[in-house]
Amino acid sequence: MTKLTLALAAAATALATPAAAATVAIDFEGGSVGFAIGATYSALGVTFSNAQFSETFGLAGTSGTRGVSSLSAAFQFAYDAADAVVATFSVPVTQVSFLITDVGAAGARLEAFDASSVLIDFDEAFGVGVGIGNFRTFSVSGAIASVRIFQPAFDDSDGIVVDNLSFETTDDVPAPGAAGLALLGLAGLAIVRRRAR
């Protein structure tokens, strides 16, 4: 009986261990300027809407020649919430960050939403003037199903360039919930009851 109890306790502990985190990084270098990003990175767990590949112009903080801008905005680099760039994850992720450069008086805002489209976190910053050379990494966390990027004090003459997406996801094998542990316990009770007969 003691061996069975120890085996069940070890199995429950193994099942309750959280899945390992993995970081996915995307630098957008694989796309052609002016083309919609869409499902380009779906194999990595993220799909974009209202987003296109754009030039980075070698701006401070960018890592290459390609970044992200709005697909629907009149001026692709300057956009408000109505023309926001949206990224949707195939499974909820725990942390998302983007590098945004030339953050001026119009600012930049990264918002995170859960699976019910409820705002759960945001990161926002403002610069001065058109913000040339002003860049930083914007980051949000939680059980994130999607994010959007836009300028909260939109000015159609003041643009931003978005680059370098990074997000934290869990391993392919999810940790079981309470139901799995309950089933394990019931199996243990059935074994004990059968031996008692």
CA distances from 104 to 5, 35, 39, 145, 179 (A): 63, 26, 30, 28, 50
C-alpha 115/C-alpha 88 separation (Å) is: 10
User: What number of other Cβ atoms are within 10 A of residue 152's Cβ?
Assistant: 15
For residues 89 and 55, state if they share a domain: yes
pLDDT of residue 170: 78
pLDDT tens for each residue of 70-112: 999 999 999 999 999 999 999 999 999 999 999 999 999 999 9
pLDDT of residue 157: 83
C-alpha 17/C-alpha 176 separation (Å) is: 9
* Beta pairing class for 66-70 and 51-55: antiparallel
For residues 106 and 197, state if they share a domain: no
Which structural domain, as residue segments, surrounds residue 1?
A: 1-17+175-197
pLDDT of residue 179: 44
Residues of the chain whose pLDDT is less than 50? 4-14, 172-184, 186, 189, 192
For residues 158 and 146, state if they share a domain: yes
The number of folded domains in the chain is 2
Q: What is the CATH number of the domain that holds 100?
A: 2.60.120.200
Which amino acid, one-letter code, is at 130?
V
For residues 127 and 193, state if they share a domain: no
For residues 42 and 127, state if they share a domain: yes
pLDDT of residue 194: 56
Dig out the tokens for 196 from the structure: 């008692």
Contacts of 71 by beta carbon, 8 Å cutoff, 6+ apart:
36, 50, 51, 52
pLDDT of residue 21: 83
Within 13 Å and on the Cβ side, how many CA atoms surround 150?
21
For residues 140 and 186, state if they share a domain: no
For residues 158 and 196, state if they share a domain: no
Contacts of 63 by beta carbon, 8 Å cutoff, 6+ apart:
27, 56, 99, 163, 164
pLDDT of residue 4: 45
For residues 3 and 80, state if they share a domain: no
Which amino acid, one-letter code, is at 164?
N
